[in-house]
Structure 1
């Protein structure tokens, strides 16, 4: 790669066109102005962000499955405890709400840890990696509407993932649950 610094007032397009014409016999060369290089890098970033969106969707699905399996295992482990609660007067709705509340706490903790980690990684990518590899950085921009949508989506996914184990636990008969151990 070669960088050419132009005097003020000299057109990067004119110089680029002239270089292309002079170098044509030697092959095809990519010639970018600083603005063009930045635009190309941002276009590449946009493509990688599309992959990131796909990975984010996959991560949400895996997280929801993890919550479902964790709460199912926890429900099986706590079958006797749930039976005691039911035998002492806890309604099915109370059991359902208890497990869904636990899921909401689990989801909130995961979301907070994910936000902190995500912001830290973004800051490192912007301030360290970009500067080291490209010699420039991009301005920090927090896409609040998108971020709020992701947080709400994650909470909904977490609560939906808790429904099967919560439903199963709330449907246990006290007698069966107490005999389980």
Structure 2
């Protein structure tokens, strides 16, 4: 419904926007005008691009072969199906962000090392606390469960902070940086299932890391752990 003005054949002509859609054929915007209207306004009868809708039961390969045979210079024509264009675009897009996935894996590994070092040092510093807990009847398994829960809670806090910050950055990239840099927009789709699975995996990994890094401190004899307090 918006009214716009387009420069055609050396003059600026008014048009009404009938609709907007996204395709994968080009990285820049394009304006589609009825062919008869365009020819009447510009006197330009050349054709360099065409879109074909096949009848039911007609295979794309069969239609391409017939067109190459029936059109002069048909062997020089380039054909592409929407699915192929979309797949190629997504491959290029994923290849551009391959380093991002590597950085994500490195960040998770570094985070787990940090959790392990932190809980390992905490466990050594809390040896007497563990010994006293053992004296009052707390088992090693219960202490390990407590440490695992602490590691899981710390990881959960980090996951929530990371998701919040990541979502904010994603909105800026999609709605601000992308239109300004590439002059096209995209729809936002949140893979909640994948995010939940990854977040759960990170929390579980952090809990196991905290537990494993604290086993050395829990293995100290309970009496020896509190001997300085006697």
- TM-score bracket, shorter-length normalisation: 0.7 to 0.9
Match of 1:176 in 2: 224
- Structure 2 residue 196 is matched with structure 1 residue 148: yes
CA contact (8 A) 2:174 2:186 kept: yes
Q: Which whole-Å deviations, capped at 9, do the CAs of 1:157-177 have from their partners, x for residues lacking one?
A: 112211222322332211222
Residue 60 of structure 1 corresponds to which residue in structure 2?
A: 108
Structure 1 residues 17-166: aligned runs within 5 Å: 43-166=91-214
Aligned mates of 1:12, 1:97 — CA distance in 2? 75
- TM-score, with structure 2 as normaliser: 0.60
The CA deviation at 1:39 is 8.7
Structure 2 unaligned blocks of 5 or more: 1-27, 39-44, 50-85
TM-score by length of 1: 0.74
Counterpart Cα distance in 1 of 2:138 and 2:120: 20
- Gaps of at least 5 residues in structure 1 are 16-37
Give the stretch that moved more between structures: 108-117 or 150-159: 150-159
- In 2 relative to 1, CA 83–4 (structure 1 residues): closer, same or farther, beyond 3 Å? closer
Structure-2 separation of matches of 1:66 and 1:12: 64
Structure 1 residue 62: Cα displacement: 0.9
Larger radius of gyration: 2
Matched residue count:
160
- CA positional deviation for 1:80: 1.6
- Deviation (angstroms), 1:107: 1.1
Aligned to 2:48: 14
State the match for 1:30 in structure 2: none
For the residues of structure 2 that align with 1:13 and 1:50, how far apart are their CA atoms? 38
**Cα deviation, residue 98, structure 1:** 0.9
